[in-house]
Amino acid sequence: MRTHPDVLDALDYPSRIPSLPWRVDVPGVEVGAPDGALQWPHFHVDGNVFPTWNGANCFIQCGNQVCVVLDQHNIMDWAIGGIDMSMGKYAGIDCIQYVDLTWRRVETCLILIACLYLFLWSFPQARPPSLRDRAGRRWLLALLCLCWGMEIGFKCASRTGIYLLNPCHITTAIQIYLLSAPPSKTVTALFRLHLNYLNGPLLALIFYETETRVLPLEAAVYWLQHGLMLIVPSYLLRLGGVYTVEPVKTIQWNVLAYSLLVAYHFTVLQGVSLLTNVNMNHIMCPLEADPFRGQLFRTAVFFHQGLLCPTVCKAYVLLANYFLIKFN
């Protein structure tokens, strides 16, 4: 494949290397590089890959007319190197700047204050009981670990490891802990909290996004992982012991779980998005089909997910208990 001569001339200039970061003016392309001495084997422009000069450990990724040099041995390359920055709903500067900067700061502060209030109100009232545990979950633990291990492998192979910070992967990690940890109040607390995050896999199965999963079995693992996330809690409810829930009429655990979830989005995921230009769990810009699309879409999400999370949690527990009683 032919290399763009202007780009190659711009890159093949050793005196530029010590002065990184630097930017090179190339017709139609803006090139930028992080600090450090780099070597370049190939280079992406508008989805096309071009070989460059002395080939080894780096590539240049372009999106939205911005090219970034990434070291293949650098953690950031492993985390975001495979993400197509030209796909606006997943990444890119236009997505990150979708919400006005001033409003984003105000909105973040207001929602985090609301989360703090919800946390302080619910935490003192959310106390797990001391209960005993029962065995019989090793096979499910092995299957879930195998599935999540494959997913991590796919993320490493496609250089999209940053997505492991998304809530569904965090919930999977919690479920692995619940299946493997000895009985304790911590297990009961995490079990009750994570039930409020089951709207995530449910929505992922209904509004699935698998167009970027091109590796063999990668899409199948997507379905398997989210399916297991809905199966594991019902199995743990059947075991009983430390896997118990609060009375249906109480909401302390629901409020506590939701305050933690929103705080995670507006601190960790928003911070990572601003650092990487990757739209983590759509925290920076909405989907095109989002009915609440606009400057207030995140505020709308705060309220409608505040209703959906506890609703799905309560409905799941009621249905699980119904089928457990019916078929026990």
**Least trusted range by pLDDT, from 20-24, 193-197, 211-215, 261-265:** 20-24
Q: Is the peptide bond before 21 cis (omega within 30 degrees of 0)?
A: yes
SS3 202: helix
**Least trusted range by pLDDT, from 22-31, 115-124, 146-155:** 22-31
**Least trusted range by pLDDT, from 208-212, 229-233, 241-245, 310-314:** 208-212
User: pLDDT tens-digit profile of 267-320?
Assistant: 999 999 999 888 898 888 888 878 888 899 999 999 999 999 999 999 999 998
Percent of the chain at pLDDT > 70 equals: 70
Listed in sequence order, the residues at least 6 apart from 53 whose beta carbon sits closer than 8 Å to its beta carbon are 8, 11, 12, 40
Question: Which pLDDT does position 217 carry in this prediction?
Answer: 86
Question: Which pLDDT does position 44 carry in this prediction?
Answer: 43
Using H for helix, E for strand and C for coil, what is the string for 119-182? HHHHHHHCCCCCCCCCCCCHHHHHHHHHHHHHHHHHHHHCCCHHHHHCHHHHHHHHHHHHHHCC
Residue 24 phi/psi, 5-degree rounding, is: -115, 130
Question: Which pLDDT does position 192 carry in this prediction?
Answer: 95
Beta carbons of 50 and 43 less than 8 angstroms apart: yes
Question: Which pLDDT does position 324 carry in this prediction?
Answer: 77
Question: Which pLDDT does position 178 carry in this prediction?
Answer: 93
Instruction: List the structure tokens of 318.
Output: 């009621």
Residue 75 or 156, more confident: 156
Question: Which pLDDT does position 189 carry in this prediction?
Answer: 94
User: pLDDT tens-digit profile of 239-276?
Assistant: 888 888 998 889 999 999 999 999 999 999 999 999 98
User: What is the residue-averaged pLDDT of the chain?
Assistant: 76
Most confident of 1-10, 12-21, 44-53, 139-148: 139-148
Cα–Cα distance, 174 to 187 (Å, whole number): 9
Beta carbons of 133 and 180 less than 8 angstroms apart: no
Give residue 34's pLDDT band: very low, low, confident or very high (50, 70, 90).
very low
Question: Which pLDDT does position 158 carry in this prediction?
Answer: 85
Cα–Cα distance, 251 to 247 (Å, whole number): 9
